[in-house]
């Protein structure tokens, strides 16, 4: 495969809700959501949970702290934005990072406002957002929009079922498909049409499997799904490989190993995502 058609995914963070460092989470990871995609020469990031700090460190050490990328947010819950103020290349005014969010109405809240008045604002955080804004442009969009980026990358979007809204992504490049469906809660009596649309025939599906079916009744309405639902979606949408994602803070490596065994028994193409792994599509 030539470099111009290379499509890779790195998982810099797999945990949901809150970072969970410690000896019990070294295998599947303690950092929250952050994805890095390379589509030929283009770099696309999804979410800025605490995992993005490590990517920033790498870019600082290996690439002169200079970044040209699009960063798409699934939504702006804390576990998906918390790493942004610690993402080093944003402090280089020569970086060019386009930040996109599709879950906000742009009137009550917009992306720039959330970062500038809620996340990077005293007395919550000492460094003002003005220090990253030279490197950033903020682009709110209506979820459902289709992006065609230069270089042949097509990104389809659809709303997910999550409190305060979330946007799912289907990224198509070089004949391959990556679907990212986190954070999302399944419906009781039918599969979510939007999730099926995003996941249809995907090579890789990232799916919110924070809970097990046994745990789920205690967390109904919290906006997350189960590994058993991931299996159903994978079957229905003929997904080639599904990565269970948004690991619950209470699920240590031992519990995740158990889930891995149960899921594989049900459908061998379904397994938990592991922090730090790189997948070539
Ligand atoms: Zn989350
Ligand atoms: Zn959320």
pLDDT per position as a tens digit, 116-168: 999 999 999 999 999 999 999 999 999 999 999 999 999 999 999 999 999 99
Centroid of ligand 2 to alpha carbon of 5 (angstroms): 32
- The protein residues having their C-beta less than 5 angstroms from ligand 1 (an ion) are 16, 79, 183
Strand pairing category for 146-149 and 153-160: antiparallel
User: Which ligand gives the minimal distance to the CA of 249?
Assistant: 1
Centroid of ligand 2 to alpha carbon of 254 (angstroms): 25
Report d(CA 5, CA 164) in Å as an integer: 36
Angle between helices 253-266 and 227-236 (to 10 degrees): 30
Report d(CA 137, CA 29) in Å as an integer: 30
Q: What is the pLDDT of residue 106?
A: 79
Centroid of ligand 1 to alpha carbon of 1 (angstroms): 34
C-alpha angle 191-192-198 in degrees, rounded to nearest 5: 120
Q: Tell me: pLDDT of 74 over 70.
A: yes
Centroid of ligand 2 to alpha carbon of 208 (angstroms): 10
What's the start-to-end Cα distance of the chain, in Å? 11
For residues 265-277, give the mean pLDDT.
98
Strand-by-strand arrangement of the 68-73 sheet: 136-140, 96-101, 68-73, 42-46, 34-39, 7-13, 278-280
User: Which ligand gives the minimal distance to the CA of 164?
Assistant: 2
Centroid of ligand 2 to alpha carbon of 134 (angstroms): 28
181 touches 161 (CB < 8 A): no
Report d(CA 30, CA 50) in Å as an integer: 9
User: Which ligand gives the minimal distance to the CA of 15?
Assistant: 1
Q: Rounded to two decimals, what is the model's pTM?
A: 0.97
Residues 6+ apart with CB under 8 A from 190: none
For residues 39-56, give the mean pLDDT.
98
Q: What is the pLDDT of residue 4?
A: 86
Centroid of ligand 2 to alpha carbon of 38 (angstroms): 25
Q: What is the pLDDT of residue 105?
A: 84
User: Which ligand gives the minimal distance to the CA of 246?
Assistant: 1
Q: Going from the N-terminus, what domains does the chain have, and what CATH number goes with each?
A: 3-280 (3.60.15.10)
- The protein residues having their C-beta less than 5 angstroms from ligand 2 (an ion) are 77, 183
Centroid of ligand 2 to alpha carbon of 180 (angstroms): 13
Backbone angles phi, psi at 30, to 5 degrees: -115, -10
Centroid of ligand 1 to alpha carbon of 70 (angstroms): 20
């Amino acid at each position: 495969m030539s470099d111009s058609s290379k499509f890779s995914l790195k998982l810099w963070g797999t945990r949901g809700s809150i970072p969970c460092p410690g000896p019990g989470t070294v295998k599947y990871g303690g950092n929250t959501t952050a994805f890095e995609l390379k589509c030929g020469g283009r770099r696309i990031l999804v979410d800025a949970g605490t995992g993005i700090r490590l990517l920033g460190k790498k870019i600082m050490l290996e690439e002169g702290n200079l970044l040209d990328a699009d960063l798409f947010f699934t939504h702006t819950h804390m576990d998906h934005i918390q790493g942004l103020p610690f993402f080093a290349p944003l402090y280089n005014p020569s970086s060019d990072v386009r930040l996109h969010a599709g879950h906000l109405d742009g009137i009550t809240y917009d992306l720039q406002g959330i970062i500038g008045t809620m996340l990077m604002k005293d007395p919550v955080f000492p460094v003002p957002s003005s220090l990253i804004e030279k490197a950033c442009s903020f682009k709110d969009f209506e979820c459902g929009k289709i992006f065609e980026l230069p270089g042949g990358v097509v990104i389809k979007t659809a709303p997910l079922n999550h409190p305060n809204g979330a946007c799912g992504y289907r990224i198509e490049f070089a004949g391959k498909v990556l679907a990212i469906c986190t954070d999302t809660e399944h419906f009781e009596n039918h599969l979510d049409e939007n999730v099926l649309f995003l996941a249809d025939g995907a090579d890789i599906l990232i799916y919110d499997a924070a809970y097990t079916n046994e745990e789920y009744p205690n967390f109904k309405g919290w906006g997350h799904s189960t590994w058993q639902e991931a299996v159903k979606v994978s079957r229905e949408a003929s997904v080639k490989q599904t990565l269970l994602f948004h690991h619950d803070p209470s699920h240590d490596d031992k519990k995740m190993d158990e889930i891995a065994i149960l899921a594989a028994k049900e459908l061998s193409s379904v397994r938990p995502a592991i922090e730090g792994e790189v997948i070539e599509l």
